[in-house]
Amino acid sequence: MNAPESPADRDALLRDLAAVLPPSALLVEHEDLKPYECDGLTAYRQLPWIVTLPADETQALAILRACHKHRVPVVARGAGTGLSGGATPVAGGVILSLAKFMRILAIDPLACTARVQPGVRNLAISEAAAPHGLYYAPDPSSQLACTIGGNVAENSGGVHCLKYGLTVHNILKLRVALIDGTVVEIGADALDSPGYDLLALMVGSEGMLGIVLEATVKLTPKPQVAQVVMASFDDVIAAGNAVAAIIAAGIIPAGLEMMDKPATAAVEDFVHAGYDLSAAAILLAESDGTPEEVAEEIAAMKSVLAQAGARDLRVSQSEAERLKFWAGRKAAFPAVGRLTPDYLCMDGTIPRKHLAQVLTRIAELSTQYGLRCANVFHAGDGNLHPLIMFDANVPGEVERATEFGARILELSVDVGGTITGEHGVGIEKVGQMCVQFTREELEAFHAVKAAFDPAGLLNPGKAVPTPRRCSEYRLTGSAQGAK
Amino acid sequence: MSDQMEMFSERIRAASAEKPLCIRGAGTKDFYGNALRGEALDTRGHAGIVAYEPTELVITARCGTPLAEIEAVLAEKGQSLPFEPPRFAADSTIGGVVAAGLSGPRRASAGSLRDYVLGVLLLDGNARELNFGGRVMKNVAGYDVSRLIAGSLGTLGVILEVSLKVQPQPVADVSLRFAMSQADALDRLNRWRGQPLPIVASAWADGALTLRLAGARAAVDAAQQKIGVGETVPPGFFADLRDQKLPLFSAATLWRLSVPATAPALDLSGEQIIEWGGAQRWLKSDAPAETVRAAAAAVGGSATLYRAPAEPKERIGAFAPLPAPLLGLHRQLKAAFDPRGIFNPGRLYREL
């Protein structure tokens, strides 16, 4: 890679950084670097070379210019909650932490927008907008901790994106630093701007095209009320068909989530939400809007679900009960975490009609690899999160879990879906990119990267594999698979 | 279904910077952007709906498929394209719709065309068949090239196929009209924007504000009680607005100003239609181009010379100029997909 090898280079870079940063914002000692060695994907660790903690734009740009000058890779980092290794350090690289960029710069209640620094937490935006009856709609389950800069980098979703969209649908403007320290404004306070849609390109680019210095996000009027129906099914296929039936009835629920039996068991034990433990699948379907609208939609969904074979239907009777029904779904990852020393969270999206086939195959793979798997599913938009349970201390289990995960992602591609719906490719799924895309398509991605970052210094090695990496993957990855 | 991919590939291989291609469907948007250059590459022969799954909320069609055919198929299942692209003629193609990237009256509430693009199959400048995105709603594998293609006016490649997210048609759909000044209309729209009201479209013109409320019956009824009943709206008003059939749209020189919705009434001579809650302002005006561009820029927006004679369009360009670093990125991206500069040269910007 581009990392300088000799200590002389390191000293030269450190001198340049020390000239623009106070000592407290420049970490070089092993014990200071240690907390940055991984993000939410803890299975992969790499000690960074240097960690920088700029306090303002001037410092951030100076860091980029210094790294650009010395040809040293830069990895941007927000809260480090990402699940795909997007913020995992690069060997011989610098971490640019945006932790100090935590100011909400403006809330405009008339325009329904918020202008924020990248280190502002997702939920903090909604909290700041609440007095105006507004909120920021995308709600990844890490929303308490994850930052908007990271959300932009990953195009984060959540449980309400079927109705309210992903990050890409809720960002109006970005102030972005390019690797050479140039600042560009992408998007506008208007609804569109001339030229190519660079905003769409920047959202979900995993810190590889530029670094977000400021984001203007869209705020949504808070619905007056919300209610959720919880339905139990005797088999997952019926539950999947029920989802299709709701859509076919012309309803776009605010949230539409499914959990299979192992997932339900894990969360019920954790949050005591009153889930039906004997059901093969549980569906949560939420409606929001005016009281009249919600009453109408809940009645319609109840009737569709009953016809689709739901054996038990419960409607939340209070806001407390609604939150209780959701608590289990939102806590699914930590709940599964209690059952197992380690787990891998997959993130494929599939056309929903293939749900039965995919879940059946996952069950077979679970037997084949001898590892338990619980499934939580953003049923409305086809985004499936199988949680593969394993114990890293048992020899061979990490490898088996990784292979099991790879097979699930390949299966998602086979049925016409994608390897990642909302968590990003990072380092975790870079191998499976070779399954989803052809050599020519990957070349096009590299060309897009080079258009922004010709020296390949921003988050190198993530998201888009090299041809060599793909050759290796084809030899060692899918060749062993049980496709 | 008809397949012309081989023909497209041959034409791409034979093209050069000196003999570029002008990618064209029915030509209903020839007026849009800078002047057409190059030999026509007719996309209409590559047509047909490839897949439509109403319960997956996705439709996939080849570039030459008429928009009218797609909308008819969707309507049979009670679905539609919520971004409501203008229907300039019955034979407008979906490839042209996506390449132009224009969105209609519901844009401020439902989102823009690019918001509904899920995937694109593209032939690039080396006739490589590239598939970006897909037919699922959530997909973050690789850069979002399919949304980059939306609105790129054919400068990056030939769109072979496109997958779009669709939505159910609203159950209730009513239009209301209130006589009021432009300033009053902008003020009302500002106050309504932050409230959970089902206002899906708005248009101020000729001293009246017309609103479209749509969604669940109960929500529309409740909103009407809050806003008032208003005057009768001529039937088909919002359809005519969508299809740009109102008299203002036949102006010889027509500007499209994209500005922050909260921007005040602009001090520009001429006639206006204000849409998107204030964020899109159509302007028929003889004011100098520089004055219009400056007025839009002053409030944080931009002005597109939407329809205009060759002079001043050739001179000042259809689209507002880009700052140098952004133009640099545009040139690099153009070179990445069309290294030989054969697709629609100059249509978007002289430099591309």
Query: Residue B2 has what pLDDT?
Result: 84
Q: How far is CA A405 from CA A353, A401, A442, B344, B351, in A?
A: 21, 6, 22, 44, 46
Which H helix or E strand runs over B300?
none
End-to-end Cα distance, chain A? 33
Q: How far apart are CA A146 and CA A80, in angstroms?
A: 7
In terms of CA atoms, which chain B residue is nearest residue A222?
Answer: B196
| CB proximity under 8 Å: B 77-106 to A | 78, 101
Residue A375 CA, distance from chain mean position: 17
Residue A285: pLDDT band (50, 70, 90) is very high
For residue B133, list its beta bridge partners: B119
| Whether the predicted pLDDT of A480 surpasses 70 | no
Mutate which: A61, A290, A410, vs B, most B CBs within 10 A: A290
pTM of the full structure: 0.96
| Whether the predicted pLDDT of A46 surpasses 70 | yes
Residue A155 with chain B: CB contacts under 8 Å: 140, 144
Q: What does A357-422 look like in DSSP terms, one character per residue?
A: HHHHHHHHHHHHHT--EEEEEETTTTEEEEEEEE-TTSTTHHHHHHHHHHHHHHHHHHTT-BS-SS
**Residue A278 in tokens:** 């004997």
Query: Residue A5 has what pLDDT?
Result: 52
Read off the amino acid at residue B117: V
Residue A6: pLDDT band (50, 70, 90) is low
Tell me, yes or no, if B172 comes closer than 8 A to chain A by beta carbon.
no
Q: Is B329 close to A447, i.e. CB distance below 8 A?
A: no
Query: Residue A304 has what pLDDT?
Result: 97
Indicate the residue of B55, B124, B138 with minimum beta-carbon distance to A157: B138
Residues in chain B predicted with pLDDT less than 70, given as ranges, are none
- Decide if the complex's ipTM is over 0.90: yes
- CB count within 10 Å of CB B195 equals 15
In terms of CA atoms, which chain B residue is nearest residue A249?
Answer: B168
Residue A364: pLDDT band (50, 70, 90) is very high
Query: Residue A7 has what pLDDT?
Result: 56
Q: What is the pLDDT of residues A199-255, one digit of tens each?
A: 999 999 999 999 999 999 999 999 999 999 999 999 998 999 999 999 999 999 999
A1-15, A444-458, A460-474, B273-287: range with lowest mean pLDDT: A1-15
Q: What is the DSSP pairing of strand B208-215 with strand B172-179?
A: antiparallel
Tell me, yes or no, if B50 comes closer than 8 A to chain A by beta carbon.
no
| Whether the predicted pLDDT of A302 surpasses 90 | yes
Q: What is the pLDDT of residues A57-71, one digit of tens each?
A: 999 999 999 999 999
Query: Residue A477 has what pLDDT?
Result: 62
Residue A169 with chain B: CB contacts under 8 Å: 111, 115
Residue B101: name the closest of B53, B45, B162 by CA: B162
Q: Is B336 close to A383, i.e. CB distance below 8 A?
A: no
Residue A464: name the closest of A451, A483, A448, A452 by CA: A448
Q: What is the pLDDT of residues A409-438, one digit of tens each?
A: 999 999 999 999 999 999 999 999 999 999
Residue A351 with chain B: CB contacts under 8 Å: 53, 56, 58, 135-136
Q: How far apart are CA A281 and CA A414, in angstroms?
A: 24
The CA distance from A421 to the nearest CA of chain B, in Å, is: 4
Q: Is B337 close to A132, i.e. CB distance below 8 A?
A: no
Q: How far apart are CA A181 and CA A20, in angstroms?
A: 14
Indicate the residue of B54, B218, B335 with minimum beta-carbon distance to A290: B218
**Residue A482 in tokens:** 């049980």
Tell me, yes or no, if B264 comes closer than 8 A to chain A by beta carbon.
no
- Contacts for B105 with CB less than 8 Å, ≥ 6 apart: B84, B200, B201, B203, B212, B238, B241, B242, B275, B276
| Percent of chain A residues past pLDDT 90, beyond the cut | 87
- Burial label, B169 (beta-carbon count in 10 A; 0-12, 13-18, 19+): middle
